[in-house]
Structure 1
Amino acid sequence: MRPDKPTPHPPAPGLSAVFPPNHGKATHLSPPLLHLLPSLSSKLPKDHPLYHHLVAPRKNRLDPYELQLTIMASKKGVHNSAVVRNRCRRRFKEAVRLVVTREAQGGKGGEGQVVEVDEGGVKGPRRWLIPGYTYIVNLTLEVYKQPLSTMVNEIRQGFLQVKSKTNETAYRNLIDSIEVPEEEEAADSQ
């Protein structure tokens, strides 16, 4: 880092307990369309400013696979007009609903304007969601411009990428926690 540049802001208090150690590393889609970040909301400390928004409403829910989605659409990131920002939110919510509940995918018809829905083999939210996690999405203006089929494909890719990375980390931690007795290691090497 060059000395003439200001140092970056320190992380907000309590964020290390919210985000996994590999949080920013290939666990989300890159712009221009959207950022999709999962965070384990149950590990948020009670004194954190977002605790009552993210954790407290979940306590009464029985279904861990119910999607909790926080959508951020700022004036700077999307558009100055509230109408455009709200349309982006609505379009994104609908695309997520199509993916999670009906397993939609972008079709191959013409200009890519077709969304195909698989009515027969719907597996539901267990295929797409990680139980107990809150999904935080930071939208850009590209959500307003993109066809719905493109958004659906991007969201499918993002959910699958996030879930595979989370499962991979969980399996790695599980394997690392297994202790092999030293006697068996010596017997195996002979």
Structure 2
Amino acid sequence: MKVCFITADPGHRLVTGVADLLVPDHQVSTLSPGAGGAAAPTPADVKFWGVDDRVFTAVRRSTLIPPDPGPPPPLPPPLPLPPAWALLARRAGRAMGLEVYGVDIIVTGPDEPLVVDVNAFPGGLGSHIGGPQALADKALHGSRRIDPTDTDRHRKRAAHASRPTADRQPNTRVRPRG
């Protein structure tokens, strides 16, 4: 059984759907251990890795299913995943106050994702196309808070990137002499 375990530590809360992510932190009470219950293991986990508003995904064989001496069961196709699942992953990372994060989801029914884990700075981010570049951009440009519900953000970014370079300020940072 893959257990959804919620501790009583501050900052942890049970999230059972997108609506729970929309509740402001100050309105959420701390939950006791085991509040999340349990879910039966599935043949595959859906892994999401996020850097700010960029999300990368993969479907991986669950480590909770014992190995079978016969051929492994087929994995579900990795794409297309419902767009709402990537939004759920971004909101789960944001709800935990993370800018670089991993979210593990299992499928408990037809189009019924269940978030079972949210991690800070997850392993495996570098194994996905675009992941290393997103992490490098994050390191170079520093921390910034992203609102994943801001649908105009991508339009604004594209408009800014398409402006002529003469309109942009050059990098005039001067290193002090010591």
TM-score, normalised relative to structure 1: 0.22
Q: Which has the higher helix share?
A: 1
Higher relative contact order (CA 8 A, sep 6+): 1
TM-score normalised by the chain length of structure 2: 0.23
